[in-house]
Amino acid sequence: MDRRQFEQELLIRPQEDKLNEYRQEYNDMLRSHAASNNNVVQERYLTINAHKRSVDEARAYFQRMGGEVTARLGQLSSQAEELDASARLQILRDFFKAGQPAVVPFNMEQRAKRGHDFKDWFCPDSLEFYADFFKSDIRWGRVLYLQDYASFIKDDFIMELCELDRSMMVSIDILPVPTDEAVRELQNKLLGVETNVAGWQRRQNNANNYTANVPYDMQLQRKETTEFLNDLTERDQRMMYGLVTVVHLAGTKEQLDAWATGHVDLEAWDRSFREHHTLVALEDGAVIGFGDIDGSGYLDRLYVHRCHQGKGVATALCDRLEQVCAGVISTHASITAKPFFEKRGYRVIREQQVERQGVALTNFVMEKRR
């Protein structure tokens, strides 16, 4: 039973009465029991690549690395199992042909003897690519990737991604960089930043603007580059190139587009902000967050820039916004935002299905009585 099926079949839905507090307590007990139950198994795959001059040299390297990885995971009370070619192909089939049972068992040796290509066993029957999505047999998909990384990413970042109630595959590709090469690259980057700052200050001086502050983005770039360089030279850290991709799958194109259409009505947003009580969080003149609430006490939007999350910005915005209206404060929280509001004393009134782009999505009507 997956997470969505668990919530639909076992959890008690809120009702329009005074007993939701007890329903919530019962649901929390079920969630706690399910989280501590070992019947749910998570599988993680670690793939190691190496550039070697010969096959024998590569085999010796992989044998040594396999032993080291197994030993390190053993220190974390985890077990590692090496997969053969058939097991790796089975993983690919489970992804590309999910829900399609194999007509005959797969045997690589038998296929090789008969001259059959093993790709026919796990590749989709049809694969169509479009501008920003693809279609694999009867499923639709879109590949997302992280373009801008925060200066610090917590180790539970991937866990939070995997807890999203969506059918998706998360991949992390990591390429370590030798320390001397990384130091040279960061020194060149820092030199470029300082050159840009000096050029900007020179232009301001030519305009007789001697008191102008260096723009926030230049200050932030200088600070992050300097800290990264200190990590490499003084704290024995390593530089790595990383690529995080998320393959999102859905049964229809409408479901795929439901969460992010890519089209924003700026005029409607501006009109809404002006009609509501809107607060903006600033740091050195740059916007790092915002939130708004209407006259009825409905907390509409709350956003914090990725580089400033976990610093109390959202809490400070909520504290000020909640002071605007007396009485009941309400909001419609997504699955990921629900824990934040629960910690602030909000309680779930009901779970509801909202329609976006013709697709039903789940959120929670929450209230806080003051």
Residue 41 has what pLDDT? 46
Residue 39 has what pLDDT? 45
C-alpha 188/C-alpha 56 separation (Å) is 38
Residue 40 has what pLDDT? 41
Residue 38 has what pLDDT? 42
pTM for this entry: 0.49
- Tokens for 235? 């704290």
According to DSSP, the β-strands at 134-136 and 239-250 are unpaired
In angstroms, the Cα distances linking 133 to 148, 254, 261, 357 are 21, 12, 12, 17
Cα 39 versus chain centre, distance: 25
Side chain identity at residue 136, one-letter code = S
CA dihedral 28, 301, 258, 165 (to 10 degrees): -20
According to DSSP, the β-strands at 134-136 and 347-356 are unpaired
Residue 318 has what pLDDT? 92
C-alpha 271/C-alpha 25 separation (Å) is 40
DSSP, collapsed to helix, strand or coil, labels residue 162 as helix
Architecture in CATH of 262-369? 3-Layer(aba) Sandwich (3.40)
Q: Helix 216-234 and helix 179-206: axis angle, to 10°?
A: 150
> What DSSP string runs through 238-279?
-EEEEEEEEEEEESSHHHHHSS--S---HHHHHHHHHHSEEE
C-alpha 274/C-alpha 293 separation (Å) is 11
Residue 37 has what pLDDT? 47
**pLDDT-flagged residues of the chain (< 70):** 1-9, 31-43, 98-101, 147-167, 259-264, 306-307, 355-361
Residue 150 has what pLDDT? 61
DSSP, collapsed to helix, strand or coil, labels residue 93 as helix
C-alpha 250/C-alpha 234 separation (Å) is 47
Region(s) of the chain under CATH 3.40.630.30: 262-369
- How many CB atoms sit inside 10 A of residue 327's CB? 10
C-alpha 214/C-alpha 200 separation (Å) is 8
- Tokens for 332? 């419609």
